[in-house]
Amino acid sequence: MTFTPHGKHLIAGAWVAGAESFTSTPTTGEGQSFSKGTPALVDQAVQAAEDAFWTYGYTTREERAAFLETIAAEIEARADLITPTAMAESGLPEARLVGERERTTGQLKLFADHIRKGDYLDRRHDEALPNRAPLPRPDLRLMQRPIGPVAVFGASNFPLAFSVAGGDTASALAAGCPVVVKGHEAHPATSEIVADAFKAAIETCGLPAGVFSMVHGGAHKVGAALVQHHLINAVGFTGSLAGGRALFDLCAKRVNPIPFFGELGSVNPMFLLPEALSARGEELGKGWAGSLAMGAGQFCTNPGIVVVIEGAEEEAFTKAALAALTATGSQVMLTEGIASAYVKGGAKIKTQPGVQELLTQMCDRREAKPFLFKVKAEDWLTNETLSEEVFGPLGLIVTVKDAAQMIEVAKSFEGQLTATLHMDEADMALAGQLMPILERKAGRVMANGFPTGVEVCDSMVHGGPYPASTNFGATSVGTMAIRRFLRPVCYQNIPSAVLPLDLV
């Protein structure tokens, strides 16, 4: 398969260039010129999506499943192009990107299977009771229906699995919603190749071209125009707290407000319970360092904070983590902006009252080396800065005096994507006290593991109370992600001849 990214937007089946451009900044090789998005291009894409909805929103589940599988096949057909392009743009290693592509196509196929089963429709039927007194009951049926065109923002840190063909797009298309993607400036060529796979799949399946469009970024006004477009019905987003909050606020201020499903920041606390710490403190230190530094720490599930009872065993844990992090080499980050935010974040933590600097290192322009800090719970509890996410391989150890203070710290966390307990049999009583707290804080509570690595399956929740996400009832990973793009409709006494096919 040959395709050379040409710097254009894909709008309703046509490659379109705008008047202005931006230059990409790959980690290797020359930057390339890409057309900047504009509100006018966004409008074209959304209008086409609305037109397409009148067909696509009424396709059968089998037609949509076949479409999702065709997209997956078209992505696989471009594998040899996608991997080197994404490596150059993101700096991520080959094995990671191959795995991410497989996850992306696996996700598309998972949603195909999911809609074939039909459970997601949540069909209900209360039969008519014409003779009920004092009032008869009408015939009532309920089913989930697609909401119409939706907007998706490609994330910088997963150029495939959370970008153009990522979980947001897959779940929206599975539901029956046309999608307009705002590509991320960090990987525009990768985005274009994947968009080309959509173009081919749409043609093969004979679907309306407006079912999918991709507009490159280049300016905040592109994203702002997209979320404010009156024909957009919901937004899927993964990125920073600041960016997500700005877009969320725009959605809320619309004449017709719409849901903004933002997956934002998280420090993913890990609680080391005494028996587990005593049995395998060193192992936990090494394991934590590995999880923290993996992929230069550029995961939303990166376990940035560890809470541990102070003492000799905590020191053994800290020593092992420090040794492992010191031995970790520098890793290239996704963008210069992210690398500079990481260094600034480290410098900010370092100067907070009570913070002990265990490891800080000079980082070259776009590279990150791990940072490690320690602070006592008294100082952590009174300083909100210390619970903010620093995107990258930065770890903070919060030492507590005893179990009671560990519980106090647990209660003080804001919403998280994950919370982890490291525990042994003899830790069960303390774990039992922490569980009701942690399940109020996090979308996923786990034991004896590391939160990086999110399984794509029916039971996954990748979300949580704010600021982990802007909508605690939703997940952006796993089959339940489809619910974000559905709306229940009740059909009262509607003759079967005009009911949706899935209800008959």
Catalytic positions are 263, 300
Shortest approach of ligand NAP to residue 462 CB, angstroms?
A: 9
248 in contact with ligand NAP (CB under 6 A): no
Q: How far is the CB of 185 from ligand NAP (least distance, A)?
A: 5
Say how many C-beta atoms besides its own lie within 10 A of residue 157's C-beta: 25
Fill in the amino acid letter for 486: L
Q: Three-state SS string across 318-356, please?
A: HHHHHHHHHCCCCEECCCHHHHHHHHHHHHHHHCCCCCE
Distances (CA, A) of 129 to 125, 126, 492: 12, 9, 13
Residues within window 203-222 making contact with ligand NAP, judged by CB under 6 A: 217, 219-220
Q: Which is nearer to ligand NAP, 9 or 61 (CB)?
A: 9
- The region of 155-163, 275-283, 312-320, 494-502 touching ligand NAP under the rule CB under 6 A is 155-163
CB-CB contact of 258 with 234 (8 Å): yes
Shortest distance in whole angstroms from residue 216 CB to ligand NAP: 9
304 binds ligand NAP (CB under 6 A): no
Reading the block at residue 333, the tokens are 């980050």
Torsion angle of alpha carbons 471, 473, 479, 485, nearest 10°? Answer: -60
Give the start-end residues of each E strand in 304-407.
Answer: 305-309, 331-332, 356-359, 367-368, 371-376, 394-400
Contact 386, 349 (CB under 8 A): yes
CB of 179 to ligand NAP, least distance (A): 15
Residue from the set 24, 144, 156, 171 that interacts with ligand NAP by CB under 6 A? 156
Interface residues for ligand NAP in 14-53 (CB under 6 A)? Answer: none
CB of 160 to ligand NAP, least distance (A): 14
Residue 476 CB, nearest approach to ligand NAP (Å): 9
Tokens of 92: 């991520």
Edge-to-edge strand ranges of the sheet holding 140-146 = 124-126, 140-146, 486-492
Select from 178, 239, 287, 395 the one that contacts ligand NAP (CB under 6 A). 239
To the nearest whole angstrom, how small is the minimum distance from the Cβ of residue 156 to ligand NAP? 3
Binding of ligand NAP by 185 (CB under 6 A): yes
Q: In whole angstroms, what is the distance from residue 264 CA to residue 464 CA? A: 10
Q: Which is nearer to ligand NAP, 33 or 448 (CB)?
A: 33
Work out which of 53, 120, 271, 391 binds ligand NAP, going by CB under 6 A: 391
> What strand order describes the sheet that includes 442-447?
356-359, 371-376, 394-400, 305-309, 270-272, 416-422, 442-447
Helix (H, G, I), strand (E, B) or coil at 232: coil
Rule CB under 6 A: choose which of 52, 75, 147, 155 binds ligand NAP.
Answer: 155
- The one-letter amino acid at 287: G
Q: The tokens 């010191």 sit on which residue?
A: 326
Per DSSP, 24 falls in state: -
Phi-psi domain of 129 (left: phi exceeds 0; alpha: psi -120 through 50; beta: other) = beta
Is residue 240 a contact point for ligand NAP (CB under 6 A)? yes
User: Cα(175)–Cα(52) distance, rounded to whole angstroms?
Assistant: 14
Structure tokens at 388: 């903010």
Instruction: Give the residue with the Cβ less far from ligand NAP, 57 or 478.
Output: 478
Question: CB-wise, 246 or 435, nearer to ligand NAP?
Answer: 246
Which of 112, 300, 381, 461 touches ligand NAP (CB under 6 A)?
300
Specify the 3-state DSSP secondary structure of 197: helix
Strand residues in 401-441 grouped as ranges (E): 416-422
**HSE toward the beta carbon, residue 24, CA cutoff 13 A:** 31
Residue choice 195, 197, 207, 247 for contact with ligand NAP (CB under 6 A): 247
Report the residue from 246, 279, 323, 407 that binds ligand NAP according to the rule CB under 6 A: 246
Q: Does 303 bind ligand NAP (CB under 6 A)?
A: no
Distance in Å, CB of 394 to ligand NAP, minimum: 11
- On whether the CB atoms of residues 464 and 441 are closer than 8 A, the answer is yes
Nearest residue (CB) to ligand NAP, 301 versus 318: 301
From the list 87-95, 238-246, 369-377, 488-496, the region that binds ligand NAP by CB under 6 A is 238-246
Residue 338 interacts with ligand NAP (CB under 6 A): yes or no = yes
Q: CB 337 → ligand NAP: shortest distance, Å?
A: 6
63-71, 126-134, 259-267, 408-416 -> range binding ligand NAP (CB under 6 A)? 259-267
Strands 14-16 and 9-11: antiparallel
Tell me whether residue 153 or residue 317 sits nearer to ligand NAP (CB atom). Answer: 153
Pick from 9, 184, 229, 369: which binds ligand NAP (CB under 6 A)? 184
Please count the residues of this chain forming the interface with ligand NAP, following the rule CB under 6 A.
Answer: 26
Kindly write down the DSSP assignment for every residue of 447-497, as one continuous string.
ESS-S-S---STT-----STTSBS-TT--SSSGGGGGGGEEEEEEES--GG
Binding site for ligand NAP (CB under 6 A): 153, 155-157, 182, 184-185, 217, 219-220, 223-224, 238-240, 243-244, 246-247, 263-265, 300, 338, 341, 391
